[in-house]
Structures are given as C-alpha cells and as structure tokens.
Structure 1
Amino acid sequence: MVHSTRRGLRRAAAAVVATTLLVAGCSQGQDPAPEAATVAPTLEPQKAAAPDPVVAPTWPLTGVAGEPVNRPALAVKIENTATARPQSGLDQADVVWETIVEFEVSRFVAVWHSQVPEELGPVRSVRPMDPDIVSPMNGLLTFSGGQPGILDLVAASPVQVISHDAGAAGLYRISSRSAPHNVYADPAALWAQADANHQSSPGEQFAFARTAERATAVAAGTPATTLAFDLSSQSKPSWTWNGTVWERSEGSTPAVAASGARLSATNVVSIVADHPGTPFGAQNGAVVPTYTLVGSGEGTLATGGKTIPVRWQKDSRDAPMQLFTADGAPALLAPGNTWVELVPAGTGSLAIS
C-alpha cells in the first residue's frame, strides 16, 4: 500500500516536470501565438441620389397630359359679328382672347396648338392689341390684312405673319358667305409655312394644376353658376356652369361652332385693362382702340363652377400674362381650354351669380 502511494507520487511529479519542459520549450523555440486580428467593419457604398420623379408631359397651352407635337402656336383673327357666326374651328382652340374693337364689336384672337381643325374662319384684319397677346408664343399670326401702321406693329414683333392680303397660301374665300365675312383658312397649310425661326412649340402661357381638383379656383374659390360680361354696347357674352364646363352664350343665344358643338371652356379668365383709343382710324372716323396689357391689374379666374379674384401681371410685350392670388401665389388653371375676356376698364363689367 505504501509502495503504491509512492509510485503515484513519482508519476505525478514526472507529469509536472514534463509539462514544465513542454511550456519552456514552446517559449524558447517557437513563435508566440498571434494576437487576434481586428477586422474593420464593412461599409456599404454611399447610396445614389433618388431619381427625379417622372412628370408626364403636357400640352403647353392647355396643361392636358399628352405627348405634344412640336409645331408653333397658330393664332388667327376670327370675326365675331352676328354675320360671322357660327365660326369654324373655335370649338377646338386651346385659347381664345376676346377683344373689343371699333364700333364696339368683339373680335377673337384664337390660338390652336393641340388640335388641328379642318377649317378656320371667318378670318379678319389685325388690330393694335394683337402683338401684345401673341408675341409671348413666338408663333404664327394669321389675318386677312390691316392698316399700314398696325402692320408695322405686327412686323416689329417676334411672330411670323401670314396675311391673306399679302397672298399667303392656305387662305381663301368661300362662296357661301359674302365679303368680307368669307375669308377662311386651312390650318395645315398655315403650319406648313412656318419658317426656321418659328418651328417650336410655345411655352406655357398660364400656370396649370396637374388635376382639376388642384386648380386654384376649385380649391379656394366661391361657387358660381353664371358669368355675365358687359364688354360693350354690342358685346354681352355670358358663361354658364353646366356641371362639367362653362358654356358660352352671345347674349341669351347659345354660342355654337360651325360643327354644331357648343362653345365651352374649362377656364374663363376675366382681365380688366385700360382700353384707350389709338391714332388709327376706321370707317366714318371711328377710332381703333387697343388695350394696355403691359403692366398689371385686377381680374377673375373661373374654373370648376367657382371663381376667385386674381391680379394679372405682364412684364413686357413678349412676356406671358401671369395670374396671382391675393397672397401673391400663382393662380393655377385646370387642364383644358381657356377663354380670356378682356374687359375695358371703366366701361366694361362682370357680374357673377
């Protein structure tokens, strides 16, 4: 029993000696164990900037979504006497400006871009206010003729002139009406004459909301059903909201195009501006008036069965007319066609009901 214990102690001592020698050998003859490596965190590459949102293209004169055809704005002087009605192509115009000329009758500057009617007319002569209306579009201005001084005003503007009296192609007389109410135009033939400086589509003339619900008058205006204009003793147009669009009447008579379509507008813009006489005369000594459109003034925007007061501003002949609300924010029209009523300051009026 004693011998067994001694043998166990000798074995334990030998194990201790062996372990000590092993440790010593490692420390003297081998490289120390490497320290644990520190691994830097993997960094994700910087994320790319978010792409710009895709904005659907729109037609510049209407704000309606679509792929605009690259062609110039086509402005045409259209007569609006009782003898001239119903006119051709007005139901397809993007914008129509109504002006009061001599003898207190109204005449239109109608502008086409997004649609191509088969025929336009009756086409009549140019007036002094026309360059201020059409110059911002840098397009084509078509008319039947004009006085030398007024023609000089137009020639000094950036538009391309297409005049029937000058023998331009695409203008002709029809046999179903008597002169001077029988000059008509083929719009495709007019566009075909655009020169190298008048090939491009116009810029946006008014600011448009992306949807009708976001239009300024719809969002913040006062409900209305009728816009009754008194532009002169001979011109008293009115517009009635039918739940979808504003429908035009000449006095109490519904206004229609030659196609039979009721003349209507998505937006009706009332612009109150001075209406002074000019040195130009008409028959029987009548004075040819114009409008003072460079500057600013009061107006009304009607959209979606509602109206809102606006301030208009036009910085130069070649600058588009801008509309602002009372707080200075841009007034947004609804996508669609627009009629602009130029109300003579001091003598014209608009009654809203």
Structure 2
Amino acid sequence: MRVRRGSGRTGAAVAAVMCAAMTAGLSSCSGTGPAPATSVPPSPPGRGVSPFTGLPAALAPVLAVKIDNVRPARPHTGLGAADIVYVEQVESGQTRLLAVYSSRLPSRVGPVRSARESDLELLRQFGRPALAYSGEQSALRPLIDAAPLFALAPRDAPRAYARGQDRPAPHNLYVRPERVLAAAPRADAAKDIGFRFGAEPPGGRRVNEHTVRYPAARFTFTWSATGDRWLVAMDGSPARGTDGERAAARTVVVQDVDVRPSRFRDRGGNVTPYTSTVGSGTALVLRDGRSHDARWSRPSADGATTFTTPAGEPLTFAPGQVWVVLKGR
C-alpha cells in the first residue's frame, strides 16, 4: 500500500505522541537510550507496555527503517532508539539492518538504503507499519506496492529525507522519523508480535561472548555485567553511533532461518538472497550473560513469531532493546 504526503496527522502531532512515551525515566526526545532494566517496570496509569521491549510506552505507530551496514556506512545514527534491530543477509554475503521504532523516535536515522523482498514478509507480523527506505529495483516495486505497509521512499515523502555531508553517497541518506510518519497517518500502532518479557528463565549456559558469521560480515555480542547488556561489534570493531554511544542489546536472538536465492539481482548482477521468516526452527537466545536453546515458530506471514524452550515453555526476553540476527541454517 502506498501513501502520499500531505494528509492526516502532522509531524508535530506524531512527535507529541512519541514524547508522551518518554517519561518515567525512559528517555528524552533526543533519542538517547534508556538505562538498562533488570525487570519489567510497572506501567504508569493510562500507559501500556511495549510489546516490542517489555518497557512502559505509549502504543504508538510502527516505523521500520532499512539501514546500510557496510563499513563506509558506519557509524550509524539513531540505532540506539530502536525497539528491535533485525540483521539480514544481502548480496555478496553482506548484511543490512531493519530497525523498528515505536516507543521512541530519534530526530534522525540512517544511513538509509534500499528495501528487499525479505522485508515484506518480515514486516507482515507488524500489521501495516510504515517503511522508510531509499528505493528499490523496478522489478520489486509491484510487490512493495501490493504489500500491507506504507512504503515511503524519498519520492513519497521528500521532506522526510536529506543527504548528509559526512560521507559520500550512497551512504549518506538520512530520514527524519517524525516527518515520514506524518506521511503515513494510518500506520498501525505497536501490537503483540510474539515476544514475551520477564524474569530470567532457568537453565542456560553462562557465556561471555557469541559471534555470528555471514559470508562477508560478522557480529560479536559481548556480555557487559556492569551495563547488564550485550555490547555489539561489527566486523571486529566496536559498534558505536554518531553520538558516541556503544550499540548494545538487552536480548539477542540468533534465529536459524532458510536463506535461498531470489529472482532478483543487484546492479552488479549479484543474486539477492531471500530470508524466509515464516515456518519454524531453532534459535539461540542470549540474555543476562547466559545462552538458552530455543525453538521459534511463525505458522503464517500474518502471525506472530513465538520463542519457546525445547520443552515448549515460553522463553522470556530481558526488557529492553532486542536484536534478532537472521542467520541461514
């Protein structure tokens, strides 16, 4: 589904909704990250709990942003404010990120890159979210137009995007979340996508570090007991934002999925991999300095993705930002 700029809620109104979620010590409207939490805080009156983080938040519209992740695209901007960060394989064994925002909106996110077919299946569990991306190859456009989302490339919301001067194109396109959501006034609010949050589950194995390798990229998650979070490194270097803050997650999910060639190719002729997130399989959940074997299940594209123990019990995540690393099995 496509939308055009100039209808519905203004950017200021969207900002007001989001800033309403930033009280009770969660954050400010600048997009800085919340202090790590060890349990689910109580919800203040008239507020809910985010189904994406397990923390108190207004159930605001969902915005997904496709983010570049090759070395020239780093450091990233606005990644620390995301509720969920998905890691996806793209051409030549590289990766890109799909960051999902609802609880908090930073002033700017990027660098933004093009969408892939896999994004359309992954995002269907969010209902009808807004998707910010730099563009797509012409053969993919009909699928994006037919997808149940609000696709907002620069041609659809030109006031929401700007080129930075800090690095060369194509690694310098940034989006303003308030403005892109103003162009999608009917984007769905956050809803249950299968995550469960709570106390640390029993069992598991104590682990200080875990590395996930792709053909041409790798991610290392190192447990910080003092920060109560997993510090992220990309290709051997600590991942930091343009604000200097270290990228970190309360929970990391390494989800084993099917990755197969699609019928699409990039400009260089490289086949675009398709990552299937419907079905079931194994996963590894990292939280509180331990790793837990898990099973994941998503019977249909419109359904939620649940994570359970091998015995079938719900596997709870630590409240806070979640990274889901989609890795070919």
1:207 aligns with 2:209: no
Any residues of structure 2 matched to 1:101-140 within 5 Å, and which? Answer: 101-137=90-126, 138-140=128-130
The answer for unaligned runs of 5 or more in structure 1 is 1-54, 346-353
The aligned counterpart of 2:49 is 58
Return the match for 2:60 from 64, 71, 75: 71
Q: Determine the C-alpha separation between the residues in 2 that align with 1:173 and 1:167.
A: 14
Contact 2:52 2:195 survives alignment (8 Å) = no
Q: Determine the C-alpha separation between the residues in 1 that align with 2:88 and 2:106.
A: 23
Return the match for 1:283 from 260, 267, 277: 267
1:193 aligns with 2:183: yes
Q: Determine the C-alpha separation between the residues in 2 that align with 1:58 and 1:264.
A: 21
Q: Determine the C-alpha separation between the residues in 2 that align with 1:63 and 1:190.
A: 25
1:230 aligns with 2:230: no
* Greater mean deviation of Cα atoms: 169-178 or 90-99: 169-178
* Greater mean deviation of Cα atoms: 238-247 or 70-79: 70-79
1:273 aligns with 2:261: no
TM-score (norm 1): 0.76
- Structure 1 residues 323 and 164 mapped into 2: Cα distance closer, same or farther (>3 Å)? same
| Aligned-residue identity in percent | 30
Post-superposition Cα deviations, 1:133-188, rounded to whole Å, max 9, x if no partner, equal: 21211211110100133222222221111111445431121222211111101111
Return the match for 1:99 from 66, 79, 88: 88
Contact 2:60 2:103 survives alignment (8 Å) = no
- Structure 1 residues 140 and 342 mapped into 2: Cα distance closer, same or farther (>3 Å)? same
Q: Determine the C-alpha separation between the residues in 2 that align with 1:209 and 1:241.
A: 19
The aligned counterpart of 1:88 is 77
Partner letter of residue 195 of structure 2?
A
Any residues of structure 2 matched to 1:145-294 within 5 Å, and which? Answer: 145-196=135-186, 198=187, 200-210=188-198, 214-216=199-201, 219-232=202-215, 234-243=216-225, 244-294=228-278
Partner letter of residue 296 of structure 2?
W
Partner letter of residue 307 of structure 2?
L
Deviation at 1:292, TM superposition (A): 1.8
Higher relative contact order (CA 8 A, sep 6+): 2
Partner letter of residue 315 of structure 1?
P
Q: Determine the C-alpha separation between the residues in 2 that align with 1:336 and 1:167.
A: 30
Contact 2:162 2:174 survives alignment (8 Å) = yes
Partner letter of residue 178 of structure 1?
P
Structure 2 SS opposite 1:275: strand
Q: Stretches of 4+ moved more than 4 A in 1?
A: none
Post-superposition Cα deviations, 1:322-342, rounded to whole Å, max 9, x if no partner, equal: 111111112111111100111
- Structure 1 residues 79 and 130 mapped into 2: Cα distance closer, same or farther (>3 Å)? same
Q: Determine the C-alpha separation between the residues in 1 that align with 2:139 and 2:314.
A: 36
The aligned counterpart of 1:43 is none
The answer for unaligned runs of 5 or more in structure 2 is 1-41
Post-superposition Cα deviations, 1:257-278, rounded to whole Å, max 9, x if no partner, equal: 1110000000000011111011
- Structure 1 residues 215 and 155 mapped into 2: Cα distance closer, same or farther (>3 Å)? farther
Contact 1:126 1:151 survives alignment (8 Å) = no
TM-score (norm 2): 0.82
1:319 aligns with 2:303: yes
Q: Determine the C-alpha separation between the residues in 1 that align with 2:236 and 2:185.
A: 43
Contact 1:69 1:201 survives alignment (8 Å) = no
Contact 1:312 1:321 survives alignment (8 Å) = yes
* Greater mean deviation of Cα atoms: 277-286 or 267-276: 277-286
Structure with max Cα Rg: 1
Tell me how large the CA RMSD over aligned residues is. 1.5
Partner letter of residue 194 of structure 1?
A
Partner letter of residue 343 of structure 1?
K
Q: Determine the C-alpha separation between the residues in 1 that align with 2:249 and 2:61.
A: 22
Q: Which has the higher strand share?
A: 2
